[in-house]
Amino acid sequence: MSSINFRAKLLTALDKAKPSALYQQHPAKTNDEIEDILFQQYRTELALGRQKPNQLAEETQTNDTRGTYRYIPRFHFELPKSTNSLAQKLREEARTLFLQKRSKELLDNGEFKLLWSLLEKHHTPPLVGEEQYINYESYCRVGTIAGEKFRRYLTATTFARLLASSSSPGRIGVIALFNYTMRKVWLQQTRIGLSLYDYTGQGFLSESDMESYILELIPTFPQLEGLEKSFHSFYVCTTVRKFFFFLDPLRTGRIRIRDVLTCSFLDDLLELRDEEIPKDAQELNWFSAPSALSVYGHYLNLDKDHNGMLSRKELIGYGSGTLTPIFLERVFAECLTYDGEMDYKTYLDFVLALENRAEPQSLHYLFRILDVEHRGYLTAFTLNYFFKGIQEELSAHRAEPINFDDVKDEIFDMVKPADPTRITLKDLISCGHGETVVSILIEFHKFWAYENREVMVTSTASEDTHNL
């Protein structure tokens, strides 16, 4: 019914339109073309609900000679509200279909085999050692033979990038090209996999999104085959906390997919796909089963009352056992606790901060604890407040007392802050000695090692000379 009314209105408008005006505007156009122009104008009127076709015709008389920006197409669409379940489902289905389409555009194992055989067949002599190289002419020939799907990977830009690091003038390594292509496809596959969990489609993952992604990855990793199912939730928590600790230091509750793809430890996680990993490499990999079990095991060992939480008294046993009580008091004051006790997730942030003290994210975490007055900077008063904990330990070990002013001057000399009376987080990160500054304020054995560093170096040198 609506289409009949629309056509009737269109014909009426055509009858009312002044033929002379339309033909003057478009003298070379036929009657059908004039009707089509009027149709477009009338459709615009319906969309805008503001003007009549004749008014629009008058305003667009000079469209052929000069452009107009009167009508700007819509470019922003709000996300569907949570109450609009149909719109949300439609958006989710559309995104899924889009990602499936992108996934089909990627090279599969058979296509990688084809690419390798073509690169070997068309490589450009001579060999350099046993390595094959290929020049740009042969490179283009491979792209043509392989087909359209391969051309997005075998571009002139790719050749130029690899040529910049090639040891053979005018040629690139066949292995380097193949590895580059594999890496690019792998990154695209990973991005698509992560995007499937980005339900809003804005390029971010929440903590629960990331947990779902990791949980579904576990069965695909040969290195995690022996992991008990009851431990899966703790493994997921351990894994996700590292991503959020380093990629979300401001605690916004979400991380960018782009940051996940570019961070170095994504490689560590996907290394678990390998059938065999050396034992020492597993111990250094935060995401390996032995590492996750070790972190959780230490947590359980600290939990003396077995209530699943850690009190300040229990946390004193962490690491060397020489973290000062003043520092631990501040940890419990600043970090999320439940009835004054720390859960496993908060403990993981604590561990990541102390095990990576040189990293900006760790310094951000520790600076928040050191900033007692919440001013955004540390003063001599702040340093003295924490150094009292070190002085108490010195007294307990019957060591010779150390003058705070000497320590304060040494810290300010190391940091060289922009303002000589205060140390900001930026100063701490940029000075390159942030790890040392923090350590000598919060942990006795680190302070002791720093204070006696010259003696220790001399002792080590003497032992080496004796061994020779």
pLDDT exceeds cutoff 90 at 464: no
Is 91 in contact with 80 (CB distance < 8 Å)? yes
For residues 251 and 253, give the distance between their C-alpha atoms in angstroms, rounded to a whole number: 5
Which regions of 234-367 does DSSP assign to beta strands (E)? Answer: 254-256
Q: Which residues pair with 173 in a beta bridge?
A: 133
pLDDT exceeds cutoff 60 at 52: no
| Share of residues in the chain with pLDDT > 70 (%) | 84
Q: What is the pLDDT of residues 416-426, one digit of tens each?
A: 999 999 999 99
- Please state, in angstroms and as integers, the Cα–Cα distance from residue 42 to each residue in 16, 53, 342, following that order: 13, 5, 67
pLDDT at 398: 85
Average pLDDT of every residue of the chain: 86
Q: What is the pLDDT of residues 170-217, one digit of tens each?
A: 999 999 999 999 999 999 999 999 999 998 888 999 999 999 999 999
Q: Residue 389, class by beta-carbon neighbours within 10 Å (0-12 exposed, 13-18 middle, 19+ buried)?
A: buried
Q: Which of 66, 57, 58, 6 is nearest to 34 (CA)?
A: 57
pLDDT exceeds cutoff 60 at 257: yes
Return the ∠ at Cα 236 (arms to 230 and 242), rounded to 5°. 145
Most confident of 34-43, 51-60, 130-139: 130-139
Domains of the chain, CATH where assigned: 105-189 (no CATH), 200-298 (1.10.238.220), 303-458 (1.10.238.10)
